[in-house]
Amino acid sequence: MADTTLETPAVTRPRRKIKWATIGDHTVLILGSLLMMLPPLLALTTASHDAVTIHREGLQLTLGDDLGKNFNAAMFEKGGFTQTVDGTLMLMNSFILGIGFAVGKIVISMMAAYAIVYFRLRFATLAFWVIFTTLLLPLEVRILPSYEAIQKLGLTNTYTGLIVPLIASATGTFFFRQFFMSVPEELAEAARIDGAGPWKFFIDILVPLSRTMIAAIFIIMFVFGWNQYLWPTLITTDESFFTLVRGIKQIVLSYTDSQIPEHGQALALAIVAMIPPVAIVVFFQNWFVKGLTESDK
Amino acid sequence: MAQVSLEGIRKVYPNGFQAVETTSFTIQDGEFVVLVGPSGCGKSTLLRMIAGLEDITEGTLKIGDRVVNDVDPADRDIAMVFQNYALYPHMTVRKNIGYGLKNRGTPTAEIAAKVEDAAKMLNLAEYLDRKPAQLSGGQRQRVAMGRAVVRDPALFLFDEPLSNLDAKLRNQMRIEIKALQRRLGTTAVYVTHDQVEAMTMADRIIVLNAGKIEQIGTPSEIYHNPASTFVASFMGAPPMNLIEAEMGQGQVRINGYDQLLPVPETYAGSVTMGIRPEDVVLDDRGSVTFRVDILEELGAHRLLHGAIADQPFTVMIGKDDTAETGETRITLKPEALRLFDKATGQKL
Ligand SMILES: Nc1ncnc2c1ncn2[C@@H]1O[C@H](COP(=O)(O)OP(=O)(O)O)[C@@H](O)[C@H]1O
Ligand SMILES: [Mg+2]
């Protein structure tokens, strides 16, 4: 290790050639990322203008004076019909949904995959394929029966009703199954001889081994849960359960009859709604790379 | 420490494949027994039944005085070393070695002391805080050994523990494992497909072929008195020469040639005659003609590959003896001749 950092004696190095291909690649990449960054940037600049300007002149590319005001209003001003919800509450609800959704999916799918891979169940393969085919039945397809079930259980307007029907995950089960099958069988056998029962093996060995998988699935599922729109709209009528994604819509809609919609506030809220998923991706990506390079198998 | 006895053990896999035919043998307390045979002959299956990782289809397995057919692997008082070591990748060496003790509720201080002891014994002391990925193959192998010895089990089980090492390390670990087992006095069952490992490490060798025991014996017995042509050709490098011959009137006649050898047995009919390459001497007045095709230089000695009466044959000569390709005459040491039934391959 240490040797590689040792300085080599100064050798006259041939002048580096300009690599046109590299420059070309980077130009494309930079242009691409600028293009991708444009909408959030526009949202940010537009959010710094007052509602009247936006309504009259459309999206703004320059920074206005109302950025702080709009963010403040979006986050802390009580709104909605009941005048009880503000941005912070919706932010919290979004977090509850996103984290509950991601954690629930990971726990359920890991345990399902564990059962399928490590236990001699009579119909393990069949069970797996049944789970797998539910990929063909996303929430949108089964939304009416799901709604009916939750309603009959009296779980509308609860976090349980919001989260639990969404956490069964064929995708997660599939990924964990593939991962568990790649773990050498001898590991389970060694643990068995070492006196670790099924639960201990799961907690002490499989879960730590899966941490990069868990991080990856957490990212995907958190963002997915965060962006849920249809299900929360159906299952929660009480405004105190509103999430950010719904709140944005609410701001734009609720004023249409009498006044100009608060576009500035809506965009400010949209930016707030964008930050946590981005932060989560950045945060976990670090982990991800570390987990992959550090050791393993 | 314990004696292990297998009584009429048989294994049929759920798909109907019989991996181990009905077998019985007893391993003495403190003995180092090597199960050897070609790949796929059922060695691992047999070992895994002793470990409890595989159900026993039929028969009784005893470790000590206890019938353990239905005892969980964790409660059999055994330790196993796997071919790929099966170290826990996310745990340090210290945790890897101590995991079994921890699961058994050993007090933390005692675990620490035992792990230190085991590490010292295996020259691992300075690596205790590393993860397996940061170790060399040989060191990982030692960690696997450490995990086994730290629990002071009644029985060690090894499944080809050295096959992932390079030749030099393998030779070294072979000696170390054997010495360790000697020192601890723990009964050991060791599975390998490498006959050199079997010969050098075993107190007793069990030769398996296609799920059946061909022979049980000390390395010397196995080498000098193979029970069948299979054992004769599997054990020893180079293997024993096997030549088809006719026998009668106290003489062996190698097919088609008038080459007669006096032998003590009184048997008439077709036989397979076996002789180790080192039991043949080049001798101008010898009674057998040997055609040398290839000379193989091995340093300490030389191998002459060729044929007797068009049947492949190998002769080993000392490094100072001279030889060249072409016809030469040889003498077979009569006391070293082994005779097998030609049809069954069993020793006569
Ligand atoms: N789970 C299994 N189901 C069916 N057949 C198996 C199973 N495991 C091993 N076998 C077969 O049993 C035979 C012996 O296997 P094994 O004991 O692993 O051989 P080896 O001597 O190489 O260790 C092989 O022919 C193998 O294909
Ligand atoms: Mg094997």
Nearest CA to ligand 1 atom 23: B44
CA distance linking residue B53 with residue B69, whole number of Å: 11
What's the B37 CA to ligand 2 centre distance in angstroms?
Answer: 10
**Structure confidence at residue B59 (pLDDT):** 94
Alpha helices per DSSP H over chain B: 43-51, 93-103, 108-121, 137-149, 167-184, 195-201, 219-224, 229-234
Cβ within 8 Å, pair A205-B133: no
Summarised one tens digit per residue, pLDDT across range A245-256 is 888 877 766 554
Q: Looking at the predicted structure, is the pLDDT value of residue A58 above 50? A: yes
Ranges in chain B, pLDDT < 70: 1, 255-266
Summarised one tens digit per residue, pLDDT across range A173-214 is 888 998 999 999 999 999 999 999 999 999 999 999 998 888
**Range of weakest confidence among A24-28, A259-263, B96-100, B255-259:** B255-259
ipTM: 0.87
**Structure confidence at residue A15 (pLDDT):** 67
What atom in ligand 1 is closest to the CA of residue B208? Answer: 21
**Range of weakest confidence among A23-32, A112-121, B74-83:** A112-121
**Structure confidence at residue B279 (pLDDT):** 93
Residue range A99-104: mean pLDDT, rounded: 93
**Structure confidence at residue A257 (pLDDT):** 53
| Element containing residue B301 per DSSP (H, E) | strand B301-308
What's the B230 CA to ligand 1 centre distance in angstroms?
Answer: 20
pTM: 0.82
**Mean of the per-residue pLDDT values for chain B?**
91
Q: Which residues of A touch B89 (CB under 8 A)?
A: 209, 295-297
Alpha helices per DSSP H over B88-166: 93-103, 108-121, 137-149
Cβ within 8 Å, pair A295-B78: no
**Structure confidence at residue A98 (pLDDT):** 92
What's the B189 CA to ligand 2 centre distance in angstroms?
Answer: 13
**Structure confidence at residue B262 (pLDDT):** 65
Q: Looking at the predicted structure, is the pLDDT value of residue A62 above 70? A: yes
Cβ within 8 Å, pair B88-A189: no
Joined tokens for residue B110: 């005692």
DSSP output for A148-197: HHHHHTT-TTSHHHHHGGG---HHHHHHHHHHHHHS-HHHHHHHHHTT--
CA of A167, closest CA in chain B: separation in Å?
Answer: 28
Nearest CA to ligand 1 atom 24: B40
DSSP class of residue A16?
Answer: P
**Structure confidence at residue A288 (pLDDT):** 63
Please give the single-letter amino acid code of residue A92: M
Summarised one tens digit per residue, pLDDT across range A269-282 is 888 888 888 888 88
Residues 6+ apart with CB under 8 A from B287: B259, B260, B261, B329, B331
Of A227, A185, A180, the C-alpha closest to A206 is A180
Q: Please tell me chain B's helix, strand, coil percentages from 3-state DSSP, rounded to the nearest 5.
A: 30, 35, 35
Alpha-carbon distances of B298 from B275, B317, B325, rounded to whole Å:
20, 10, 17
- Ligand having the closest approach to the CA of B19: 1
Ligand 1 binding pocket (C-beta < 6 A) is: B 13, 15, 17, 19, 37, 39-45
CA distance linking residue B54 with residue B68, whole number of Å: 12
Cβ within 8 Å, pair B99-A297: no
Name the residue of B10, B12, B13 whose CB sits within 8 Å of the most ligand 1 atoms, as the mutation to test its pocket.
Answer: B13
Residue A103 has a CB neighbour count (10 Å cut-off) of: 17
A184 cis-preceded (ω within 30 degrees of 0) = no
For B72, list phi and psi in degrees, rounded to 5.
-65, 145
User: Model confidence at A229, in pLDDT bands (50, 70, 90)?
Assistant: confident
By DSSP bridging, strand B326-332 and strand B260-262 are unpaired
Q: Looking at the predicted structure, is the pLDDT value of residue A102 above 60? A: yes
Cβ within 8 Å, pair B88-A184: no
Whole-number CA gyration radius for chain B: 24
CA of B145, closest CA in chain A: separation in Å?
Answer: 12
Determine the residue among B54, B87, B103 to mutate to test chain A binding: the one whose Cβ has the most chain A Cβ atoms within 10 Å: B103
Residues 6+ apart with CB under 8 A from A165: A139, A146, A149, A150, A231
**Range of weakest confidence among A234-238, A256-260, B107-111:** A256-260
**Mean of the per-residue pLDDT values for chain A?**
82
CA distance linking residue B135 with residue B143, whole number of Å: 9
Residue range A90-113: mean pLDDT, rounded: 92
pLDDT over 90 percentage in chain A: 24
